[in-house]
Structure 1
Amino acid sequence: MQFQLNTDSHIQGDDRLAEIAEGIVTAALGHLVERLTRVEVHLADVNAAKGGGDDILCTIEARPEGMQPHSIRHSDADVEAALRGGGRKIRALLESEFGKRSAR
């Protein structure tokens, strides 16, 4: 599985953040990682310098093998919380989609 992290100009997207993001998201996905070809994570600071609650937007796009890409959006107070919440949402979405396919 390929992992890609993208950030806006208000979040410093260095190698350390990429490692943290990959660790959090792949841990949240668990065994589903084996069924994915690529995961893209986009982080944006919606309010920039103004601050405020839930101003970090995490968008995760997962590309399951042989299926259309699926994506979610999750806002939270800081980067790690946004990644954890986004990881939970994408896992729930993928489990639902894989479950529908196996039921057919």
Structure 2
Amino acid sequence: MKIQVNTDRTIEGNESLEEHTREILERILKHFTEKITRMEVHLGEKRSADHGDIMETHCMLEVRVAGMQPVAVNDSATTLDQAVTGAARKMESMLESEFGRLGR
């Protein structure tokens, strides 16, 4: 399973960030690692729509599973860990529903 971590200009991408992000994703999505062929993570920050003075971290997670169309989820939070964890939990729920529906 390949995991590609991308950041926009508001977040400095480095090896430590990539490794930490991978650890979160692998821990939460461990039940699907045999089925997932690729994950793409896009991280960025912007001002909150509700509270303009607060910066939010956004995580968009796209997962490719063999034999299926890519699926994507988004999450926003005050910290990078929370945004990545939130997106991973949403993906976990989506994949559980999808595989349950397909009987896989």
How many correspondences in the alignment?
A: 101
| Corresponding residue of 2:74 | 73
User: What is the letter of the counterpart of residue 27 of structure 1?
Assistant: R
Kindly report structure 1 stretches of 4+ aligned residues shifted beyond 2 Å. Answer: none
Within-5 A mapping of 1:21-36: 21-36=21-36
Post-superposition CA distance 1:48-83 (Å, at most 9, x none): 9x7515x11100000011100000000000101111
Report the TM-score, using the length of structure 2 for normalisation: 0.91
Secondary structure in structure 1 of the residue aligned to 2:91? helix
The answer as to 2:53 corresponding to 1:84 is: no
Distance 1:13 1:27 in 2: 21
* SS of residue paired to 1:34: coil
What RMSD over aligned residues (CA atoms) do the two structures have, in Å?
A: 1.7
Distance 1:32 1:51, change over 3 A: farther
Matched residue of 1:27: which SS?
A: helix
CA gap of 1:44–1:51, structure 2 versus 1, over 3 A, is farther
TM-score (norm 1): 0.91
Q: Which of 54, 65, 76 is matched with 1:52 structurally? A: 54
Hey, what's the Cα distance between the residues in 1 that align with 2:69 and 2:46?
A: 28
Aligned-pair identity (%):
37
Map of 2:5 onto structure 1: 5
How many Å separate the matches in 2 of 1:96 and 1:44? Answer: 28
Unmatched tracts of structure 1, length 5 or more: none
Q: Which of the two has greater helix per residue?
A: 1
